[in-house]
A and B are shown apart, each in its own frame.
Chain A
Amino acid sequence: MKMIVHDLENAGELPWLTAFGSGQDVIGTDEAVIRHCTGCFGCWTRTPGTCVLKDEYRHLGARLAACDEMVLISRCTYGGYSPFVCNVLNRMLPYVLPYFRMLKGQMHHQLRYEQTVKFNVYFYGEDLTANERKTAQALVQANSLNLGAKGFEVSFYDNIRQLKEVLS
Chain B
Amino acid sequence: MNIALINGSPKGGATNSGFLLEKLRPLLPQEAEISTYRIGPKALKNEQYLELLAMDTLVLAFPLYFDAIPSHLLRMLTEMERSTQSSNQRPQTVRVYAMINNGFFEGDQCKLAVEMIRNWCERCGFMFGTAFGHGAGEMFGSVGHVPVGSGPLKNLGLALEHLVGSIRSGESTEPFFTQPNFPRGLWKFSSTQLFWNATAKKNGLKPKDLRRRPGIPPIRLSQSGGKRQDM
Contacts and interface: CB of A to CB of B under 8 A. Distances in A.
Contacts, number: 173
A90 B213 contact: no
B115 interface: yes
Contact of A66 (B66, B216, B224): B216
A58 B123 CA distance: 33
Interface in B178-198: 184, 187-188, 191-192, 196
B98 interface: no
A38 B104 contact: no
B168 interface: no
A130 to B, nearest CB: 10
A78 B109 contact: no
Given A39-B11, A45-B196, A129-B122, A139 B67 contact: yes
Contacts of A81: 68
Contacts of B225: 18
Interface of A is mostly: mixed
Contacts of A129: 119, 122
A99 B71 contact: no
A100 B187 CA distance: 10
A78 B77 contact: yes
Interface string B27-49: 00000000000000100000000
A78 B106 contact: no
Contacts of A45: 196, 199-200, 203, 205, 210
B207 to A, nearest CB: 9
Interface band, chain A: 35 or more
B105 A63 contact: no
A100 B219 contact: no
Contact of B221 (A24, A89, A132): A24
A78 B112 contact: no
A142 to B, nearest CB: 4
Contacts of B199: 41, 45
B216 A38 contact: no
A79 B41 contact: no
A87 interface: yes
Given A78-B117, A100-B191, 15 more contacts: A14-B226, A26-B222, A38-B41, A39-B9, A39-B10, A39-B11, A45-B205, A62-B214, A62-B216, A63-B216, A77-B78, A80-B74, A80-B116, A83-B74, A131-B118
14 contacts: A23-B221, A38-B10, A38-B12, A45-B210, A49-B213, A78-B74, A78-B120, A87-B71, A89-B71, A90-B66, A98-B191, A131-B115, A135-B119, A139-B67
